[in-house]
Amino acid sequence: MRRGLPVLLAGAALLAACGRPAEQQDAAPGASALSAPDETPAAPLSPASAAPVRPALLAAGQKSYAVHCAGCHGEVAEGDFGPPLAGAAAGDLTDFDLADFSRAIREGWTARGELLSSMPRLTSSLLPDTALEGIHTYLRSLE
């Protein structure tokens, strides 16, 4: 029984990370998180260096991080079940530009082409581009 508990907890953490935010619950009636991938092309993400950090984007990013990421990566990205996403322990993850970050979240690949096998894939229907950009901005602020 003791050996199965860590596996059960890890599975629960992964399932919690895959949940849709409350504002998305009514957006697609009848749609499920397990339905076919979103085939609608997402609006292009703006580059991280295009503008100075906007306080509203940073605050929204912190909130989105708490909903979508903290369950695996810790409350302040220090690492937990998932790897750390900020600080020296995060390594090259803190150097991801917005396009690299998007590829990691949406497709599960690092900028160096390494597979993020345990990373849940969050399509734009589960995590809108504006929320993804906010999370990226928030993580960059933790460096």
pLDDT tens digits for 93-135? 667 899 999 999 999 998 888 899 899 999 999 999 999 999 9
Residue 69 has pLDDT above 80, yes or no: yes
pLDDT in tens, 25-49: 334 444 434 334 444 444 444 444 4
137 and 48 in contact (C-beta within 8 Å)? yes
Domain ranges of the chain: 52-143
- Look at residue 102 in the predicted model and tell me its pLDDT: 94
pTM across the whole model: 0.62
Q: Which CATH architecture describes the domain 52-143?
A: Orthogonal Bundle (1.10)
Cα distance between residue 124 and residue 107, in whole Å:
11
Average pLDDT over residues 61-73: 95
List the one residue out of 98, 69, 100 whose CA is nearest residue 82.
Answer: 69
61 and 135 in contact (C-beta within 8 Å)? yes
119 and 53 in contact (C-beta within 8 Å)? no
